[in-house]
Structure 1
Amino acid sequence: MTMKSIFDAREIKVEFEKAGINPSFIPLIWKQASISHNDGENFEWEQIPSLPSAAYPLLYSKFKRLTSSLHSLFHSSDHVTSKLLIKLQNGAFVEAVIMRYDTRLGKYNGKPRPGGPRSTLCISSQVGCKMGCKFCATGTMGFKNNLSSGEIVEQLLHATRISPIRNVVFMGMGEPLNNYAALVEAVRVMTGPPFQLSPKRITVSTVGIVHAINKLHNDLPGLNLAVSLHAPVQDIRCQIMPAARAFPLQKIMIEYIMLDGVNDDELHAHQLGKLLETFQVVVNLIPFNPIGTSSQFRTSNEQRVSTFQKILRGIYKIRTTVRKEMGQDISGACGQLVVNPPDKRSIESSGHLTDIEDLHL
């Protein structure tokens, strides 16, 4: 019998109600399960005090504290990025990435940035992905299966054993809005006790699933949405993102991956500026991260990225940031997540890091 994750909120609520157990005990169970230092196999439900007697046999027969395990952990050479290879109960693997920031090193509007050291966790929502974006390694896996809400939350538990997590971004493997029910349930668990993450510090990245975007606004108000735009005109977008669809642009953040000679010309910057100038958006320019020697794409050089940014900022008055490349040496950078051992390249530690969650504060 396949055991369920204790963090699958719907499953445990249904089972408790069927057994006549008050669901109000569930947050207590989550709290004890989240602070335990025992792994999923050695955790005993009796460690949780004061539960109704009927709860213990039910928990033993149907639920596990962790259905997944941390298979491997890789640290980047600059010590700011860690990639977790997580083995699921069905034998499949997903990846999550911890990105560490120290905002004291940077400036915001000419003043020291508040907040100090903190970590952002990049979470996966699926094994593989069906969107097929040509610049993304995850797309080469194809779609394998959706994660349960518990498997999504468990990534947060594995990560908090390594570093305190303040921000969560659904920018790992998979299209989060194609696993909508599990996404919403996982976020509700993360924003409730005992995790108590602020919705303002959670971002969901999507290629633009229109009906789900509209629904998400009602189901999870206050959540940040990042739209993967990556091109100023639809024909280019469809070339590099086969699943591209029309979607409203009145969103908080627009992601735009910089591909040398494809979408990074000054003309493209003007096209993007004209497209977005009437909207209240932030454009996040993302340097393309190599996904292998066979890739048809190359990284835009710093000068082209800088010129692109200056056009958007100076001419169209669009707030524009450039994503700092993190974790390339462990294949943990944006677009590189695929279940393969990391390569041995190293990256230099340079510049001041900007946490993308700060864009929403």
Structure 2
Amino acid sequence: MAIHSIFDYTSLRCEFEKSGISDHFIPLIWKHVVQNPSCDMDSIPSLPSAAYPLLRSKFRSMTSAVSSAVDSKDRVTTKLLIRLQNGTSVEAVIMRYDTRLGKYDGKPRPGGIRSTLCVSSQVGCKMGCRFCATGTMGFKNNLSSGEIVEQLVHANRFSKIRNVVFMGMGEPMNNYSSLVEAVQIMTGPPFQLSPKRITVSTVGIIHAINKFNDDLPNVNLAVSLHAPDQEVRCQIMRAARAFPLTKLMDALLSYQASSNQTVFVEYIMLDGVNDQEQHAHQLGKLLENLKSVVNLIPFNPIGTSSNYKTSKDQSVKKFQKILRGNYNIRTTIRQEMGQDISGACGQLVVNLSEQRSAGGASLLTDIEDLHIR
């Protein structure tokens, strides 16, 4: 891109180094932009004089803009359609959770509204999962680290964001360098998010998992498993052929041994495909040596072209009971949010020809409740 986001750290640092400007000014610039997202570069105070022409010529405070913001009827979920400078769009979803309405470890707790942001890392996706609408777009392009961070800046104008999950459009680990840089920015000044409140979801890119803990320590890892054996996984997830289940499990065990982190396992429930009792037992045995939390996800329809159906409630509950009772695996059922605005899991897709939203993203009950310290 000819013009970079001010949050593209590597580009900004390199330009400063070439001009002999200290990079300790970068957090000061970001703080001003976060407080004044539409500012011009000349309004940023206390910079060396050489910084201003450089910033004006090569950077913008925000390279993206919110095209639309749609609230769910209960106002718990807000879906943002964000237009990028190359003309494409992505969606980010804000999910609000009132801690006063729930319990943790069986105890009521004080609190208030806590917001989680689901961000996109790519326009489209090349993974081709058959149950996910984003895959119907194909892959368009990667987002820069700045474009990812700008989603957080936009979202903070609607609700103070406490948690971030990379569960929107795209496979984050196929855009690994931007992912790492974006998370590092989010966990530093001025955002100062805790790494423990950031979760990265992947279909299982093994070579990236192998270096994930070194690059992003204490950040949560979620794996879109969706099937307990390789054959079924390949049927519903085209990319699974490149990442055999046995090698993926070896990578997860190695990751856990080095990080001591709980692995979140995402499992979409497809009627008659992967939701039977034998599948639950297979999954329990597969995960028996891994410290994990399994999140069972109700399938959300993605249009008339889908051949899949949502699992019956009794099947989901029986699946959960087997994992909990027979294998002592902590298992939750995802609480869907924003379905009335197509803001639920697997529905995220943007009609690029018309630049209008046709989908959304989602998360779970409350991400912090799933964290095991």
**Which residue in 1 is equivalent to 2:4?**
4
- Any idea what SS the aligned residue of 2:350 has? coil
Q: Does 1:225 align with 2:221?
A: yes
Q: Which piece of structure 1 moves more, 271-280 or 174-183?
A: 271-280
**Which residue in 2 is equivalent to 1:288?**
299
8 Å CA contact retained: 2:124, 2:349: yes
Q: Does 1:312 align with 2:308?
A: no
- Any idea what SS the aligned residue of 1:243 has? helix
**Which residue in 1 is equivalent to 2:90?**
94
Identity percentage of aligned residues: 72
**Which residue in 2 is equivalent to 1:31?**
31
Counterpart residue identity of residue 9, structure 1 = Y
Q: Unpaired runs of 5+ in structure 2? A: 254-261
Mapped to 2, the partners of 1:167 and 1:196 lie a distance apart of 11
Match of 1:211 among 207, 214, 219: 207
- Any idea what SS the aligned residue of 2:161 has? coil
Q: Which piece of structure 1 moves more, 239-248 or 176-185?
A: 239-248
Question: Which whole-Å deviations, capped at 9, do the CAs of 1:241-280 have from their partners, x for residues lacking one?
Answer: 0101131243511100000111011111111111112221
Q: Does 1:47 align with 2:58?
A: no
8 Å CA contact retained: 1:106, 1:354: no
**Which residue in 2 is equivalent to 1:106?**
102
Q: Does 1:195 align with 2:206?
A: no
Distance 1:282 1:114, change over 3 A: farther
**Which residue in 2 is equivalent to 1:350?**
none
Shift in Å, 1:120: 0.3
Q: Does 1:58 align with 2:69?
A: no
Shift in Å, 1:329: 1.6
8 Å CA contact retained: 2:349, 2:357: no
Mapped to 2, the partners of 1:193 and 1:13 lie a distance apart of 15
Question: Which whole-Å deviations, capped at 9, do the CAs of 1:62-93 have from their partners, x for residues lacking one?
Answer: 10000000011111112111111000000001
Mapped to 2, the partners of 1:220 and 1:314 lie a distance apart of 33
Counterpart residue identity of residue 191, structure 2 = F
Kindly report which structure 2 residues correspond to 1:158-197, keeping only aligned pairs within 5 A, or say none: 158-197=154-193
8 Å CA contact retained: 2:220, 2:263: yes
**Which residue in 1 is equivalent to 2:272?**
261
Kindly report which structure 2 residues correspond to 1:323-342, keeping only aligned pairs within 5 A, or say none: 323-340=334-351, 341=356
Counterpart residue identity of residue 278, structure 1 = N
Displacement over 4 Å in runs of 4+: 341-344
- Any idea what SS the aligned residue of 1:300 has? coil
Question: Which whole-Å deviations, capped at 9, do the CAs of 1:126-180 have from their partners, x for residues lacking one?
Answer: 0000000000000000000000000000000110010100000000000000000
Shift in Å, 1:343: 6.6
Mapped to 2, the partners of 1:201 and 1:138 lie a distance apart of 25
Mapped to 2, the partners of 1:62 and 1:342 lie a distance apart of 30
Counterpart residue identity of residue 329, structure 1 = D
Mapped to 2, the partners of 1:354 and 1:286 lie a distance apart of 11
Counterpart residue identity of residue 338, structure 2 = G
- Any idea what SS the aligned residue of 1:337 has? coil
Shift in Å, 1:221: 0.6
**Which residue in 2 is equivalent to 1:347?**
none
Shift in Å, 1:281: 0.6
**Which residue in 1 is equivalent to 2:20?**
20
Matched positions, count: 349
**Which residue in 2 is equivalent to 1:359?**
370
Mapped to 2, the partners of 1:32 and 1:159 lie a distance apart of 16
Shift in Å, 1:294: 1.8
Q: Which piece of structure 1 moves more, 109-118 or 217-226?
A: 109-118
Mapped to 1, the partners of 2:216 and 2:292 lie a distance apart of 20
Mapped to 2, the partners of 1:103 and 1:314 lie a distance apart of 28
Counterpart residue identity of residue 173, structure 2 = L
Q: Unpaired runs of 5+ in structure 1? A: 345-352
Mapped to 2, the partners of 1:117 and 1:71 lie a distance apart of 25
Mapped to 2, the partners of 1:18 and 1:72 lie a distance apart of 39
Mapped to 1, the partners of 2:64 and 2:358 lie a distance apart of 24
Name the structure where helix makes up a greater proportion of residues. 2
**Which residue in 2 is equivalent to 1:349?**
none
Mapped to 1, the partners of 2:181 and 2:291 lie a distance apart of 29
Question: Which whole-Å deviations, capped at 9, do the CAs of 1:93-149 have from their partners, x for residues lacking one?
Answer: 101000110122112222114543100000000000000000000000000000000
**Which residue in 1 is equivalent to 2:281?**
270
Counterpart residue identity of residue 298, structure 1 = K
8 Å CA contact retained: 2:81, 2:357: no
Match of 2:233 among 226, 231, 237: 237
